Amino acid sequence: SLNDLQNIEFICEPKIDGLSLNLNYEKGSLISASTRGDGKLGENVTNNIINIKDIPKKLIGKNFPDEIEIRGEVFLNKKDFIELNKSLNEKNKFSNPRNAAAGSLRQLDANITKQRPLNFIAHGLGYSSKKYDTYLEFYEDLKKWNIPSNKLKEINSSLKSLDRYFNEIEKIRNRIEYDVDGIVFKLNDVNLQKRLGFVGKNPRWAVAQKFSAEKSITKIKKIDFQVGRTGAITPVARLLEVNIGGVIVSNATLHNFDEIEKKDIREGDLVEIQRAGDVIPQVLKVIKKDKSRKNIVKPPKLCPICKSKTVKEDGEAVIRCENNNCRAQILGSLIHFVSKKSLNIEGLGEKQIIQFYNNGMIKNFVDIFYIEKHKDKILELEGWGELSFNNLISSINNSKEINLNKFILALGIRFIGETLSNLLAKEFLNISNFFTNSKNKDRLNNIDGLGPKAINSLYNYFKDNDNLVIIEKLKNLLNILDYKITISNSIFNNKNVVFTGTLIKLSREEAKHLAIQLGAKISSSVTKKTDFVIIGDNPGNKAKKAKELGIKLIHEDELIKETS
């Protein structure tokens, strides 16, 4: 029974804004280190963590399990981050300490990682052959083994004390030597943890409470434009540099031109900016108008990159470059194609893509898989050596086996994000079906959950002969795995499910992930083909429409119950 809540102990500790790392020890010796990746697969970074002082290669003493997985966070202190950025040229500077830690740990050249002042703090336990009754016992062992845990952690057992701890840490967050973005509260009792279990990859026995976003005031020096992979032109404020929580901020998004007009933002104005997590800083409001204010920035009639005409489609606030061959769009598509959510090619990030593109080695997706022929030219470029080149080729070869949904996402088709990529993969099952049917508008119109914008975007993408040639070549180069249909005994198996309202126990993404695991097909709108509508607080029109159509409404608890 859990009646006496006052006796339930919680470990409270700051949530470090770093990169997750798993350390695996056998008989006291470190055998591997990997990032957590998507919760199932991570990158092996064993060679790169050898010189992190907080990670012992061998556990001290004899009191250690035969096998143990220690989870924690790799990070840079704020001062070290600033010093590191000073040593880098303008193109290679990092935007924040988290990106600097990730970039340093994932370096293909381990010698570069050695020169970076990385730190490690342990905060979690994976598999262990030694059974612990409490997390506190695990932390006591960490201390014996000379592995640091957070010095600011506390054990509390009342809501009042949890709230007090949160407020105290939030007050001193700017004085903490590393970036923290909230507090993690987790049950101390391991047996209670087991009873509560997980939702997807997220534990029910731990919860993070985020701090409010950090804000500061600075001046807008200039407003210019960035062009994304879909041609969207975003106005960006170039700022007088300001330090927000240890991060030097010099740019902030203005979202779109309607936003500029709504907030009446001009060059020279003193503005309040906000930095929240990994999101690019944004301008919240004007604090003081510049005395000699210029005219408000208007949407450009020509693309700032390729000078082609710009267009604004009906119902959209975004201005777009209409030239699909715009340099910015090509680069954006290439960067998206190799990114973590797509092909996940380690060592081929934004900087390398731009480097190869500028040198004429990569012009489209297919060229990536023939980069080896440019070996001599690459080895002459800054930052490349024999080892880093060989690691890149290995990473490219590893990326050649890819799930159908990730391949669809990698193509970067406008309006086709993760949810619709999964929907299309489940609908067509293999690459040949996807390739053939995406040219058939009637077939696309019959897919529940695919809206008119996405349908038109897919259809137009496959009408372009250049795209067809590229995809045909990719089909031959890659092993695109067929979609595996989930078969379960759940009531959700092979059912069309729509979510509406604010879920209480799960985030919307967690709930969708859980439903897919149970074999459900997620849709965004309620139709006659919908089987269940899962509701949260303030469900709105979707719930109303479901009632009118006689579709069963289900609370999120029933979804959670199906996994237990």
| Catalytic annotation, residues | 15
CB 410 within 8 A of CB 424: no
Residues 447, 453, 455, 458, CA torsion sign = negative
Total residues found in the chain within this entry: 564
DSSP 8-state symbol, 457 = H
CB 308 within 8 A of CB 321: yes
| Angle CA 88–89–95, to nearest 5 | 70
CB 530 within 8 A of CB 552: no
- Give the amino acid at 261: E
CB 224 within 8 A of CB 304: yes
| Alpha carbon distance 32, 45 (integer Å) | 8
Coil/strand/helix, residue 390: helix
Long-range contacts of 152-160 (CB under 8 A, 24+ apart): 152/13, 152/14, 152/176, 153/11, 153/12, 153/13, 154/11, 154/12, 154/13, 155/9, 155/10, 155/11, 155/12, 155/188, 156/9, 156/10, 156/12, 157/6, 157/7, 157/8, 157/9, 157/10, 158/6
- For the chain, the distance separating the N- and C-terminal CA atoms, rounded to the nearest angstrom, is 18
